[in-house]
Amino acid sequence: MIKYIYEYKKWTDFTWDDKAINAVFGEVRLMQGKIIGQMNALGFSAKEEATLTALTLDIVKSSEIEGELLNYEQVRSSIARRLGINTAGLVKSSRHIEGVVEMMLDATQRYTLPLTEKRLFGWHAALFPTGFSGPYEIEVGRYRKGKMQVVSGAMGKEKVHYEAVKPEMVKKEMEKFLNWFNNDQTLDSVLKAAIAHFWFIIIHPFDDGNGRIARAITDMLLARAENSGERFYSMSSQILIERKRYYEILQRVQFSKGDITEWLEWFLQCLKNAMLATENTTQRILHKAEFWKMHEQTVINARQRLMLNKLFDGFEGKLQTSKWAKIAKTSTDTALRDIKDLIDKGILKQTSEGGRNANYELVFFKGNF
């Protein structure tokens, strides 16, 4: 009979093949150093921008993995306010978003503090401020008291993918996990992040939110690995891209007898991919910082500044007068005046389409990102 990993004695004495993970582990550590070096060369405001972008992505994508879509601008504004980053176009955030942001910032900004039961309960309560997950009432700010199954399929044809640790064992298992998390000094923090993520998911201590909390724990240990609360890449963004594989690996390794090599290999490769993806973002931030430095003395109004920042941050679709008016909350006449002013200043140009379908793009750095 196939057993879950936690049904074996001493199941948390995890083993792995060092040879199988050493190459990718070395690459990850090298890339971390490289990214931090690049960011330190950026200057203060560009570093702030990079951290704000990475944290926003991490929070939005971590929720998206669970099928929940958060408002990007609300998340970004909430982080900016809490970190004291002065950024244009701040918007009011919902109570739920404030809670999600609070959890992530506690994990990444206070990464040196111990992870305690009380702290975890606070994170869980912040994720579910109403005591509900969707239409369902859940136990908030405490460990689950019921059994936990991960199932899929229509009613009557459900397939059980995973049955977590029995509820009466959760507290004992979590005490062991937290003791290891806070006191084990033998492991590199990157490897510890991978193991902690897997271990926490296997216990599945809460009624809901286990995935998001596991990813916050991961980010906390990655911050420790870099000895910095400044985040420059998003692990959750990459997990979302590789979500199918993420679940496949978890499903396979949950039946192992303690060997987690396959999980560690996948995690480290995913982390490497996350850092590769951030190199493009870094380039964009560099271009943006350079642009504003070049135009320090140029007269640019608040609407224009808002729209130019959006173009540098990766504006989706084509920029037309109507879109400008809608986003900048102004009339199409004013939008057109703003655009023409920037064309006169050599900042924007009109693309080949003319007339009513006229589109505009940045002159500076076009093609570099």
Q: Cα-flanking dihedrals φ and ψ of residue 71, to 5°?
A: -75, 115
Together in a domain, 223 and 333: no
Together in a domain, 86 and 121: yes
| Mean pLDDT lowest among 24-28, 131-135, 178-182, 310-314 | 310-314
pLDDT band for position 289 (50/70/90)?
A: confident
| Token representation of residue 311 | 């173009």
Residue 128 sits in a domain whose CATH number is 1.10.3290.10
Together in a domain, 159 and 272: yes
Rounded-to-integer distance, Cα 296 and Cα 215, Å:
39
Together in a domain, 10 and 122: yes
As for how many domains the chain has, the answer is 2
Together in a domain, 351 and 208: no
Say if CB 25 and CB 191 are below 8 A apart. yes
Together in a domain, 42 and 103: yes
Together in a domain, 312 and 283: no
Residue 352 sits in a domain whose CATH number is 1.10.10.10
Together in a domain, 140 and 112: yes
Residue 183 resides in a domain: yes
Last residue of a domain, one of 287, 310, 335: 287
Residue 270 resides in a domain: yes
Together in a domain, 263 and 307: no
- Give residues with Cβ within 8 angstroms of 155, minimum separation 6: none
Tell me the one-letter amino acid at 225: A
Residue 292 resides in a domain: no
Angle at 269 between CA 268 and CA 273, to 5 degrees: 115
Radius of gyration of the chain (CA): 23
Rounded-to-integer distance, Cα 62 and Cα 239, Å:
8
Residue 29 pLDDT more than 70?
yes
Residue 369 resides in a domain: no
Q: What is the mean pLDDT of the chain?
A: 92
CB atoms within 10 A of CB 219: 25
Residue 172 pLDDT more than 90?
yes
Rounded-to-integer distance, Cα 81 and Cα 110, Å:
17
Structure-model confidence comparison of residues 317 and 147, the more confident one = 147
Residue 367 pLDDT more than 60?
no
| Token representation of residue 291 | 């642009």
Q: What is the pLDDT of residues 104-139, one digit of tens each?
A: 999 999 999 999 999 999 999 999 999 999 899 999
Together in a domain, 236 and 309: no
Q: What is the pLDDT of residues 271-287, one digit of tens each?
A: 999 999 987 777 777 78
Residue 41 pLDDT more than 90?
no
Residue 89 domain boundaries: 5-287
Q: What is the pLDDT of residues 205-260, one digit of tens each?
A: 999 999 999 999 999 999 999 999 999 999 999 999 999 999 999 999 999 999 99
Rounded-to-integer distance, Cα 209 and Cα 217, Å:
12
Rounded-to-integer distance, Cα 200 and Cα 187, Å:
17
- Torsion of the alpha carbons at 316, 322, 327 and 331, rounded to the nearest 10: 170
Together in a domain, 208 and 252: yes
Residue 17 resides in a domain: yes
Residue 12 resides in a domain: yes
Together in a domain, 201 and 250: yes
